[in-house]
Amino acid sequence: MWNIAFDRLADLLRYDPAQPLLFNSGLFLFLFAAFYVVYALLSGRRATAVRLLYVTAFSYYFYYKNAGGYCALLALITLVNFYAAWAMERCTARWARRFWLWTAVGFMLLQLAYFKYTNFLFEEVLPVFGGHFGEMDIFLPLGISFFTFQSMNYIVDVYRQKMRAIHNLLDFAFFVSFFPTLLSGPILRARDFLPQLRRPVVVTRLMFGTGLWYVMGGLFKKAVISDYIGENFVNRIFDNPALYTGLENLFGLYGYALKLYCDFSGYSDMAIGIALWLGIQVPANFRAPYKSDSITDFWHRWHISLSSWLRDYLYISLGGNRKGRLRMYINLFLTMLLGGLWHGASWNFVVWGSLHGVALGCHKFFRQTVGHDKHYHSRGWRRVGAVLLTFHLVCFCWLFFANSTFDASLTMLSKIFTDFQPGLIGAFLAGYPVVVALIAAGFVLHFLPSGWNDGAGRLVARLPLAAQVVLMLLVIYLVVQVRGSEVQPFIYLSF
């Protein structure tokens, strides 16, 4: 009996591609609880090195459970960037510094291109020369886009002399592999994150309670709203939009906008909360993006760590707005086009990124034409109209982001504009009462004043520990009641 139990435990802890270790799984909650007990014992200043090694080892195990042997790739990226930055700092000649910069950046771009774009490139190029393409079995390591960009901002910052190279390999390995943000961000900045590592671990009651609020909120967004409306409505629409009316397709598109937001921001919230429990500050990644009154405002609120990364390390590197107005629009378009390709090798992502690039350029042109500065925001009913217009523009772009083919996107658009059938609204509401209620509740919560959310977080942080435990158990109970037979993976794990 003991042997059987041991074998089952070993199978549970071993890498299984069908069973990744996700924040919303019971196994993660169990392992994190055990991990945290030891972490608390290592919180003293004298145990700093041991604590960093302990967290790094757990992060590598966490990645092993999600990506198996690709832990070696994570380690290789860490070593390449660590030693390239160290060598760069020792060089005085500009050409030598550039050599080490492009050695590291080139390596990261090449491995990213291999895993994400090899099949896409061969599929598009070989037929031009009369060749036949057979898709290669290339597994995309989970989180590769996130930890690659995170490593890249470090090497570029060292090159730009915005920070000194890190001379402690353990500190840098901790930064690259930090498990709360490893798979889906937020994308950390080395110059903000690394100074926190050698400080004494201090987790105040406010930090613990705030972390609990983030974790509960993220779990609710992901497992209650996103997973439920996805499994019971949205996925069905996008799997075969031709079978549904325009009304259902439109609500499916609204549902997808909410599903994607709750899924991705739910992950970010849990990552921020878990990091707070470790005494580490992680930047916010979302600020109610569907409240945006322009497409520019949207990208100040959506996936903030990526949009700011693209601005600082791509747009500015291309020349930004320093080389004339025409070049500025070209740089803006190229930045968003490459941002679309960052999400995956597909013409759908190319179109999605291009649409956002054109929209951002048009908004910038309009803002400069009417004389609005970059801090301008409309007010009153004009703001309501601007928010609605921006939301529907973003939803239109989500069509191409969510569908795997152009035909599916065109079918959805055709159904919405030619087969809407508004008379079926009553039957639709009666057929999907829980889905409609959750979509409505999700948007209502999203559009509540941000101060209300902050106030609720402070209230939870001030509650006695027993009350906080009860709240967490209630959220877990709710998740168990509404979830399907399997734990649903986070959408951005595939990017």
Q: pLDDT digits over 440-489, tens only?
A: 999 999 999 888 888 888 888 888 888 888 888 888 877 777 666 566 77
pLDDT of residue 70: 92
Asked if 181 and 272 count as a contact pair (C-beta separation under 8 A), the reply is no
Cα separation, 267 vs 179, in Å, equals: 12
Whole-angstrom CA distances from 343 to 298, 390, 404 are 18, 21, 13
E strands within 292-436? none
pLDDT of residue 126: 65
- Give me 487's structure tokens: 């734990």
Written as one string, the DSSP assignment of 141-169 is -TTHHHHHHHHHHHHHHHHTTSSPPP--H
Asked if 421 and 246 count as a contact pair (C-beta separation under 8 A), the reply is yes
pLDDT of residue 9: 67
**CA 321 to chain centroid:** 27
Residue with tokens 């504009």: 417
Q: Residue 422: which of 242, 236, 250, 240 has the closest Cα?
A: 250
Asked if 489 and 184 count as a contact pair (C-beta separation under 8 A), the reply is no
Residue with tokens 């071993």: 14
| Helices 48-67 & 71-90 angle (0-180, nearest 10) | 130
pLDDT of residue 232: 92
Helices (H) and strands (E) in the chain, counts: 23, 0
Catalytically annotated residue among 303, 343, 356, 363: 343
Coil, helix or strand for 495?
coil
Residue segments in the chain with a per-residue pLDDT below the cut of 70:
1-7, 9, 124-136, 371, 373, 375, 482-487
pLDDT of residue 201: 87
Q: Is 343 a catalytic residue?
A: yes
Written as one string, the DSSP assignment of 260-300 is HHHHHHHHHHHHHHHHHHTT-------S-GGG-SSHHHHHH
208: amino acid identity, one letter: F
pLDDT of residue 136: 67
- Residue 20, sorted as left (phi over 0), alpha (psi -120 to 50) or beta, turns out to be beta
Whole-angstrom CA distances from 386 to 8, 262, 291, 294, 485 are 56, 23, 9, 7, 41
Cα separation, 199 vs 207, in Å, equals: 16
Q: How many CA atoms lie less than 13 Å away from 56 in the CB half-sphere? A: 18
Coil, helix or strand for 48?
helix
Q: Residue 394: which of 236, 261, 246, 220 has the closest Cα?
A: 261
Helix or strand run (H / E) with residue 256: helix 246-277
Q: Which long-range contacts (CB under 8 A, 24 or more apart) does 194-197 make?
A: 194/166, 196/279, 196/280, 196/281, 197/48, 197/52, 197/171
Whole-angstrom CA distances from 229 to 200, 220, 434 are 43, 13, 8
Q: Residue 180: which of 397, 18, 32 has the closest Cα?
A: 32
Cα separation, 249 vs 251, in Å, equals: 5
pLDDT of residue 125: 67
Terminus-to-terminus CA distance in the chain, angstroms? Answer: 42
Total-model pTM:
0.93
